[in-house]
Structure 1
Amino acid sequence: MLDNRVASFAKIKFNEYYRKAYIKIADLSKREFGFGDFESKIVKRHISFHTFNEFKSYILSDTPAFISVSTSIYKYPSARPMEKKMRIKSELVFDIDSTDLNLKCQLGHGRSWVCSNCLDATKAEALKLIEDFLISDFGVPSDKITMNFSGNRGYHVHVIDEEFMNLNADARKRVSDYITGKGITLSRFFPNIDEPKKQLRGPMPTDPGWAGRIARGMISALNSGEEKLVSLGIEKPLARKLLRSKADVIMGITTGNWDKVNVPKKAEFWNSILKAMSISQTTSIDKNVTSVMDHLLRVPDTIHGDTGLISKGIPSIPDLGKFDPMKDAVLFKSGTMMIHVKESPVLEIGGMRFGPYKDKDVELPTYAALYLMLKRVAAFP
């Protein structure tokens, strides 16, 4: 449980921000809202507001640690049970979180902590989702995609195109299955894989969808070198053999000929490579958030109660590429505080580096001190 003094201080700082903030929420009067404290992200829900001023008065009266909103638009957003809300349409949403990624750095600092590598990885996943799947494969216009930092470990991506907002739960599940590569089989891309005496025909980089993605991924792996090929499960002697004939192999893949290098047990070999390729090409998303339309997600430009960072809205895809959450989502930049840190990995925030600390009193900028206290690794002395 968060220390009472920390919770009281955090609520004062959060209230300072909300007094000055204008938080844009499309279709505000048709959304369900949820509010949480420092122990649970959703304590109250089935709440709605007619105007922004009504919403702002509510959050100023008893400043919540978390503010969430429905991705669905309803006729009666405060009604209960859920079916009485009468859903009109629902954004297609994707939640990308570093805890869903198997990152080497997590072996050192655990999954609940984030470092610059974690945040770079989640941003890469968000960009992959947007550029390689939503725009390229599904044809979503870029101006119909909104995105925001979650305030902690990742990003939320919203599709607000009418065609996608009217998808039912089953269609949304099929979208998430496609993006995560569920059901990909070797025979789908290599139709004559079970005919070992014939030239192996496979996907070309210009093919649409997953076929082209796999071909381009293999070419990229070849261009990246031995280490990348080994990471796909290719044994070093064969990786070196492929690299010695790299130009021919790439030319073959470009024309759909995947037999430029003799590979023993090629069905077994390419099946294992395809699995590794599909994992590296998929985007890690929370499937439940995408397929279930009753979820509440953080309101963009509100504060995350576990970090004190803002769940900052990001205006465009190029802006996402340049976005640095540990600089661009930082609030409370004035002043310093003395805190006692029980134990903390290195914290890079606000363009500065702090720690690691263990059982130490330190004076830190307010934003860094609040971050550590909300992470439950520090408290007031």
Structure 2
Amino acid sequence: MSKGAPTTTATTANDAVRAAFREYYFKQAKMIEPPGDVEKREFGYMQFGGHGMVRHLSFKSTGELVATLITQVPSDVYCSNALYRFPTLAMQEKQWLGADLIFDIDGKDLHLPCVPSHSYPVCANCGHVSPPPSSDDKEYACSVCGGKKAEHIVIPCAKCIEGSKKEARRLYEFLTGDLGIDRQNVHTYFSGNNGFHFHVQDDAYRPLDSQARSDLVGYLAGIGLLAESVGVRRSPGGDNNLAFVKFPRSGLGSGWRKKVADKLKIDTTSTLRLTNIVREKGGYAGFKAELDAMTREMGVRIDPQVTTDVHRVFRMPGTLNSKSGLAKVRVSDIESFDPFTDACLLGDAKVKVRLKAHAKVRLKGENYNISKETAELPAYAAVYFICKGLAEAAATTAT
């Protein structure tokens, strides 16, 4: 923790977080990354304590956008992947001009086995926050009211981040390898919470409609690959489960064909080996089921709704995420990237907080393992716990 930092007076969680966000947008304006053709984009933002999104906004320049962030201090900022002739009009009047290709990898969709060990149950009845359950706990029961239903606050661990990185690396290889997109046109960002966002800046993909993007999502996820594409075909006759092997003329040297061939350790000379594999799986149907499971495992787990929505407003690079207080930042080297340092960009003015449960996290290289009821923390740590719902701001006296 930094010594000699000023103390922030805050009476509510929103006051403390909003003050830290305002300082960030004032001092770190250079981190904001507006999209290309900024004047053709729709912008929107959420407000602290507000309900619903302020949408259909347009800015003529980066300076105008940053000025709005400093004065309004939104909790979250979004920008359309689409370009419009009239971005401030109602959706049916905007005149869609195309949309960038975007992808969202969210850690919560990976269902990693480590999550329960750092997941805090919040009672749906009384709001009491409990520490992560031990491995012996089989059924949740609130220690205050006995309630049986709970929502969960997850503090991502190193394994969670590595799980998301694994998916991000896989997606990057699909985009630049299978699809042949120039590496300079694929931009990777940490989402600001527990995942990664991809922005593809390639004019060739802007005209794609929702169905074409859905087909692309299916390809990336490994859904619907035909057994025939790797050489396994139904035998003619009445038994649909009989199969024979005939490799495609175009070979097994690219795309999903190559991925499956490498996994099965076959090539176009492996007729006997593939025939034996099909027989071991019980015929055509058994092989197809095995193929489906294999491609799902090898595919990328992305949020399909984000990619297929051609009117999406997506979190804007360089802005803060109200679920954590971390920033959505560009990732140049995913191997060395540490979100708890590289995306932790708030200041270190002291904020006194009241913890709702024993909580721990590592931010900016410092371990925060808070077991007492109240603590005075640097703003970046205090905001993280507040945004996660594990703390609330306590009134302090400025010094």
TM-score, with normalisation over the residues of structure 1? 0.80
Between stretches 19-28 and 195-204, larger displacement belongs to 195-204
Among 19, 36, 39, the alignment partner of 2:46 is 36
TM-score, with normalisation over the residues of structure 2? 0.77
* Higher helix residue share: 1
Structure-2 separation of matches of 1:198 and 1:300: 51
> CA distance change for structure 1 residues 352 and 309 in 2, over 3 Å: closer, same or farther?
same
Give, in angstroms, the shift of residue 274 of structure 1: 2.0
Among 5, 10, 16, the alignment partner of 2:12 is 5
Counting only pairs closer than 5 Å after superposition, residues 351-370 of structure 1 correspond to structure 2 as 351-355=365-369, 357=370, 360-370=373-383
Equivalent residue for 1:71?
A: 81
The runs of 4+ residues in structure 1 deviating greater than 6 Å are 195-199, 201-205, 251-254
Equivalent residue for 2:5?
A: none
Equivalent residue for 1:326?
A: 340
Q: Give the partner amino acid of 1:347.
A: V
Give, in angstroms, the shift of residue 332 of structure 1: 2.6
Give, in angstroms, the shift of residue 28 of structure 1: 1.4
Give, in angstroms, the shift of residue 359 of structure 1: 6.2
Asked if 1:258 is matched to 2:274, the reply is yes
Assess if the C-alpha contact under 8 Å between 1:116 and 1:348 holds in 2.
no
Give, in angstroms, the shift of residue 321 of structure 1: 3.0
Give, in angstroms, the shift of residue 375 of structure 1: 0.8
Asked if 1:153 is matched to 2:160, the reply is no
Equivalent residue for 1:224?
A: none
Structure-1 separation of matches of 2:157 and 2:50: 24
> CA distance change for structure 1 residues 24 and 192 in 2, over 3 Å: closer, same or farther?
closer
Equivalent residue for 2:357?
A: 343
Q: Percent identity?
A: 28
Between stretches 186-195 and 285-294, larger displacement belongs to 186-195
> CA distance change for structure 1 residues 83 and 107 in 2, over 3 Å: closer, same or farther?
same
Counting only pairs closer than 5 Å after superposition, residues 48-67 of structure 1 correspond to structure 2 as 48-67=58-77
Assess if the C-alpha contact under 8 Å between 1:201 and 1:258 holds in 2.
no
Deviations 1:83-107 (A, max 9, x none): 2111212101111101111211123
Counting only pairs closer than 5 Å after superposition, residues 45-194 of structure 1 correspond to structure 2 as 45-80=55-90, 82-110=91-119, 112-113=153-154, 114-131=156-173, 133-192=174-233
Structure-2 separation of matches of 1:285 and 1:337: 37
Give, in angstroms, the shift of residue 38 of structure 1: 3.8
Structure-1 separation of matches of 2:194 and 2:50: 17
Larger relative contact order (Cα-Cα within 8 Å, sequence gap ≥ 6) = 2
Assess if the C-alpha contact under 8 Å between 2:243 and 2:284 holds in 1.
no
Q: Give the partner amino acid of 2:274.
A: W
Q: Over aligned residues, Cα RMSD in angstroms? A: 2.9
Asked if 1:17 is matched to 2:28, the reply is no
> CA distance change for structure 1 residues 269 and 320 in 2, over 3 Å: closer, same or farther?
same
Equivalent residue for 2:258?
A: 212
SS in 1 for 2:326: coil
Asked if 1:270 is matched to 2:277, the reply is no
How many pairs align? 342
Deviations 1:311-363 (A, max 9, x none): 0123x4xx2332211111011353444422212554232223333x5663334
Structure-2 separation of matches of 1:40 and 1:155: 26
SS in 2 for 1:258: helix
Deviations 1:78-137 (A, max 9, x none): 111x12111212101111101111211123334741222111111211121111x11111
Structure-1 separation of matches of 2:300 and 2:242: 35
Assess if the C-alpha contact under 8 Å between 2:106 and 2:164 holds in 1.
yes
Q: Which runs of 5+ in 2 are unaligned?
A: 1-9, 120-151, 395-399
